[in-house]
Amino acid sequence: MVKIGLIPNLTRTVQHLSCLVLLGTTLWGCSQSQGTSSAGNSASELPIGVALALTGNASLYGQESLNGIKVAETRFNAQKLTTPPIRMVIQDTGSDEAGAVNAFQTLINQANVLGIIGPTLSQQAFSADPIAERAGVPVVAPSNTAVGIPEIGLFISRVSAPVSVVAPAAIKAALKLNPQLKRVAVFYAQDDAFSRSETEIFQKTLKAQGLEIVTVQKGQTTDTDFQSQVSNALRLNPDLVVISGLAADGGNLIRQLRELNYKGLIIGGNGVNTVNLFPVCRAACDGVLVAQAYSPENPSPTNQTFRQAFEAQLQQVPSQFSAQAYTAAQVLVESLNALGKTNDLATMPRGELRQKLNQQLLQGTYDTPLGEIKFTPNGDVIQRQFYVGQIQMNPDGNSGKFALLQVTETEPSHSVNP
């Protein structure tokens, strides 16, 4: 089991813990290892901060991301890519902005990390990333896709492709399945920055494709009852529904659409791109289209090696959130490896190392489970391949998969993030 440094809060001693995170819950089973750590001040390790939502309504995503971090730490240290080895220092951000701010402050000021992977939500990033920017600490976002994330500052980058690139692929796939689509009902969570950003892109693309938006219905990520919004929308006879929300609210919305006899196509945004959706909408999940930045079915040797390692360590298929977190770690580790060829990483002053690490990661090209990626000068990811998956539920109604429906090859320009 991977050793992970966990900082529960600002006042408790930082300790090495062996932890098992149970997906879909907030239960942690932990056993303390021998000794304590000064959380990154040791020259025998290179500390990388990880700030993820491991509790709260975004914990389903954070826990999937943590799985990718576990596999990355195991693989990269086994390959001895850096000297000294890396150590992932984990901080639970919760699912709100205040938790992300506290996590970043702890990782920077107490753990003295070289860089940070996180946070889980775009909304958290807008509050927490400026703290890292002011401190000169590189941040690589694994799952922040809202407009404006890289523009927060020079030290902020992301491996999660912006929603402006990913979302339109699902609409085009829906039109390919049913060229007669005309009327669209749009639903989104108005209390979430990512969902607001994503729905703007969806609506812009729908109009560009000549589709009529007959209604826009708003909800909250904490909502579970959508009977009123669904009834209002279905009275207008849409033949396509587009949803921007998280797994819990999105799953309940999908289920209630089917319960109220909606038979048409459903497109879900990045927030429903998780197998943790399946227990929420169950059999009603079947057929939902989701645009993806990662597919476990990608046949590239790098992805298949990653998938085999992931399944061997965790006995499950990697999700997009797991693959993106692994990729964020890969970018940082390979950048440290490049720096280590001409520098003594163990003795370099921390501020200088952070600065050079940020410069190095923006210059590289990386062969990752997502495919080949690189960065624009302002830190936005350039990714060549994108996917559209369609949910196929198993007969038990509890489990299923994202079957690969379409692959799009592109190399978009992100010199200015739309």
Model confidence over 49-83: pLDDT tens digits?
999 999 998 998 999 999 999 999 999 999 999 98
- Number of structural domains (the chain) is 2
Residues 215 and 146 both lie in one domain: no
Banded pLDDT at 42 (limits 50, 70, 90): low
| pLDDT recorded at residue 311 | 98
Residues 194 and 215 both lie in one domain: yes
Residues 359 and 391 both lie in one domain: no
Cα(407)–Cα(124) distance, integer angstroms? 30
| pLDDT recorded at residue 407 | 87
CB-based contact 209:220 (threshold 8 Å)? no
Work out the angle between the directed axes of helices 122-135 and 193-208 (0-180°, nearest 10). Answer: 120
What amino acid occupies position 276?
A: N
CB-based contact 371:116 (threshold 8 Å)? no
Residues 259 and 338 both lie in one domain: no
Structural domain span for residue 286:
163-292+386-409
pLDDT of residue 100 exceeding 70, the answer is: yes
pLDDT of residue 411 exceeding 70, the answer is: no
Residues 272 and 349 both lie in one domain: no
Chain segment 226-267, per-residue pLDDT in tens = 999 999 999 999 999 999 999 999 999 999 999 999 999 999
| pLDDT recorded at residue 147 | 86
pLDDT of residue 300 exceeding 70, the answer is: yes
Least confident of 31-35, 163-167, 214-218, 265-269: 31-35
Residues 338 and 251 both lie in one domain: no
Residues 237 and 342 both lie in one domain: no
Residue 418 in domain: no
CATH number of the structural domain spanning residue 129: 3.40.50.2300
Q: What is the mean pLDDT of residues 105-134?
A: 97
pLDDT of residue 321 exceeding 50, the answer is: yes
Residues 68 and 185 both lie in one domain: no
Residue 139 in domain: yes
Q: How many CB atoms lie within 10 A of CB 46?
A: 24
pLDDT of residue 413 exceeding 60, the answer is: no
At 366 the three-state DSSP class reads: strand
| pLDDT recorded at residue 417 | 31
Cα(325)–Cα(62) distance, integer angstroms? 9
Cα(243)–Cα(198) distance, integer angstroms? 9
Contacts of 363 by beta carbon, 8 Å cutoff, 6+ apart: none
Peptide bond into 84 cis (omega under 30): yes
What's the pTM?
Answer: 0.81
Contacts of 246 by beta carbon, 8 Å cutoff, 6+ apart: 57, 58, 60, 61, 189, 192, 195, 221, 271, 272
pLDDT of residue 109 exceeding 80, the answer is: yes
What amino acid occupies position 366?
A: Y
Higher-confidence residue: 15 or 113?
Answer: 113
Residue 313 in domain: yes
Q: What is the mean pLDDT of residues 219-229?
A: 96
In angstroms, what CA-CA distances link 340 with 116, 140, 254, 309, 358? 19, 20, 49, 26, 14
